[in-house]
Amino acid sequence: MLRFLLTRLTLIVPTFLGVTLLTFAMIRLIPGDPILLIFGERNVEESVYNQMKADLGLDKPILVQYAYYLGDLAHGKFGTSIITRTPVLSEFLSLFPATVELSLTAITLAVLIGLPAGIIAAVRRNSVFDHTVMGASLTGYSMPIFWWGLLLILLFSVTLGWTPVSGRMAVKYFVEPVTGFVLLDAAMAGEWGAFRSALQHLILPAAALGTIPLAVIARMTRSSMLEVLNEDYIRTARAKGLPPWRVVGLHALRNALIPVITVIGLQVGALLSGAILTETIFSWPGIGKWLIESIRRRDYPVVQGGVLLAASIVMLVNLTVDVMYGLINPRIRKGR
């Protein structure tokens, strides 16, 4: 098991370096000068411009800038925002709970709906329900998040008026941040009006973000269940006269869940990438919206540090999933 873990950890190092190189290069390929964007339409003297460029380290050759960037990372420094002059790590940690709250709600909805839908679709193979679930899953997986989010806003917010259009909570409420999770903080403070407001603001973006994971989980559950239901031990259980719910729920589902759990863990990356569009559409104050605004302002340190921190979280989750899968299935960790 230790060898298996060390192998996975070794693979993280080139991935980490690749992320740093890509983010460092891609943000600089976008047209626009961060210093000129700071001053806007105002004229800036050349001496002031050169001094500011030197202070930010942008006057050095690109390879030297990258070397300094790697050196800062080696010392645990993710840089300082050009615009706010705040450490990137501090901004990330202050905004990350909002993204986690949105992502957890989205994956919870996806599991609670997708898992039963996939199980029933497998048990009732080729039925109307099966075709409906698979058709809806294909549609949900193919639907771009930005388009799906706008449709949800148009229907539930504009037409029906059931949910707010954007934001995280109504402006008339204020909850002292303790954990960073508004729902939890509001419940702990006994502010139930704020809790309801936060829940209303959360439902629509979570539904938009959870659509693709829901489709993936439903299809994977159905496929895994169909494979398990054809195994000999399932036929034996049925031949013994066990109730159908026991055969499906106890014998089949337990083995079918192994690949499904892996897929659920891997959806974390999809949730973080989807959160960028979702948070922008719904004005959700998380790291996705923060990164988009930083790209527009050419805030190099924020984009570099924010993407790297998000990628590190995805790599950590994937490593955890690999380890759990290795514990469940010994053949994986033995390389079979």
Strand partners, 87: 80
Average pLDDT of the residues in 58-69 = 89
Band the pLDDT of 2: cuts 50, 70, 90: low
State yes or no: pLDDT of 336 exceeds 70: no
Q: What is the dihedral of CA 221, 273, 74, 54, to 10 degrees?
A: 170
CA dihedral over 284, 286, 291, 297, signed as positive or negative: positive
- pLDDT tens, position by position, 240-296: 777 777 777 777 777 788 788 878 877 777 787 778 888 889 989 889 889 988 988
Band the pLDDT of 135: cuts 50, 70, 90: very high
pTM: 0.83
State yes or no: pLDDT of 172 exceeds 80: yes
Whether 239 contacts 292, CB under 8 Å: no
Looking at residue 331, its pLDDT comes to 56
Distance CA 121, CA 143 (A): 21
Looking at residue 254, its pLDDT comes to 76
Average pLDDT of the residues in 133-151 = 88
Distance CA 5, CA 3 (A): 5
Strand partners, 80: 87
State yes or no: pLDDT of 332 exceeds 60: no
Band the pLDDT of 205: cuts 50, 70, 90: very high
Tokens of 14: 């080139």
Looking at residue 47, its pLDDT comes to 83
Looking at residue 235, its pLDDT comes to 75
Name the more confident of 239 and 136. Answer: 136
State yes or no: pLDDT of 113 exceeds 90: yes
Looking at residue 207, its pLDDT comes to 92
HEC string for 195-225: HHHHHHHHHHHHHHHHHHHHHHHHHHHHHHH
Q: Considering the chain, what is the average pLDDT of its residues? A: 85
- pLDDT tens, position by position, 94-111: 899 999 899 999 999 999
Average pLDDT of the residues in 182-188 = 90
Band the pLDDT of 88: cuts 50, 70, 90: very high
- Proportion of the chain above pLDDT 90, given as a percent: 21
Average pLDDT of the residues in 156-163 = 89
Distance CA 90, CA 274 (A): 23
Q: Which domains does the chain have, with CATH numbers?
A: 1-83+297-336 (no CATH), 94-288 (1.10.3720.10)
